[in-house]
Amino acid sequence: MQRVLILGATSAIAAEVARLHAKRGDRLHLVGRKEDKLARVVSLCAGATVTSAVADFAKLDANEAVVEKAIETLGGIDRVLIAHGDLGNQLESERSFAEAESILRTNFLSVVSLLIPLANRMEAQQSGTIGVITSVAGDRGRPRNYTYGAAKGGLGIYLQGLRTRLYPAGVKVTTLKLGPVDTPMTHDHRKHLLFGKPAPVAESIVRAMDEGVAEAYVPSFWAAIMPVVKNTPERLFQKLPFLSGR
């Protein structure tokens, strides 16, 4: 049995991850922003030992206490998944710093504010696994989502450094680069064949963390697609609407 903390547990993907850990008999502590949604996720984990707490990760100064309380409730920690995020409004972020700051706070700063106490705890205990959901959007800036992509890209660099820092302590850090997934966060996006589904995406996340993979593209076919997107020369990139369009 592992003691598993899921931050941002009310997302469709995180809820599926919680369900998988519950089936294993792991002890879970779920943290999310809305109590009613948390209650629904807890109900998916019937039969397991599950506790929950409400928190708003945008309140950066409160996040260390959120982590400390979660670990105290679990009686220690073996694994954590940080799963929250928000696409925000790209067009608005180009005109309003408040919107840009909100996207950066949600997708980068709030995650770092959680990772610092988590990493310090796991480094001290010389064990643990940290998984963080990022995005393929962080691999290259594109007009349709570059504010969100910048936050996820910065987070990816942060996780690279954290992974190497924690390596001597035996702590594993897995960067989970998700492609678009058919969830409420993307409800107004036109769906296509590259959209993943929450249940198989969650299975891939759990498997990557089990194996201690450093970086995992989820679904895995993005590992073949993104090198092309990343390495296309900018002059050509800008002339290809399917890459550079809105």
What are the pLDDT digits (tens) for 166-219? 999 999 999 999 998 876 666 565 656 677 799 999 999 999 999 999 999 999
pLDDT digits (tens, 9 = 90+) for 135-146: 999 999 999 999
Domain carrying residue 233? 3-244
Q: How many domains is the chain partitioned into structurally?
A: 1
Give the whole-angstrom CA distance, residue 210 versus residue 199: 17
Residue 98, helix vs strand vs coil: helix
Q: What is the pTM of this model?
A: 0.93
Tokens representing residue 193 in the block: 């064949």
pLDDT digits (tens, 9 = 90+) for 22-78: 999 999 999 999 999 999 999 999 889 999 999 999 999 999 999 999 999 999 999
Structural contact between residues 106 and 208, judged by C-beta atoms closer than 8 angstroms = no
pLDDT digits (tens, 9 = 90+) for 13-27: 999 999 999 999 999
87: pLDDT confidence band, cut at 50, 70 and 90? Answer: very high
Q: Give the CATH number for residue 144.
A: 3.40.50.720
Phi, psi angle pair for 28, to nearest 5°: -120, 140
Phi, psi angle pair for 76, to nearest 5°: 125, 180
Cα Dmax for the chain: 56
pLDDT at res. 189:
58
pLDDT at res. 240:
84
pLDDT digits (tens, 9 = 90+) for 90-105: 999 999 999 999 999 9
- Residue 199 neighbours by CB under 8 Å, 6+ apart: 16
11: pLDDT confidence band, cut at 50, 70 and 90? Answer: very high
- Computed over every residue of the chain, the mean pLDDT equals 94
- Residue 86 neighbours by CB under 8 Å, 6+ apart: 103, 106, 107, 185
Rg (CA), the chain: 18
Residue 108, helix vs strand vs coil: helix
Which secondary-structure segment (H or E) carries 58? Answer: none
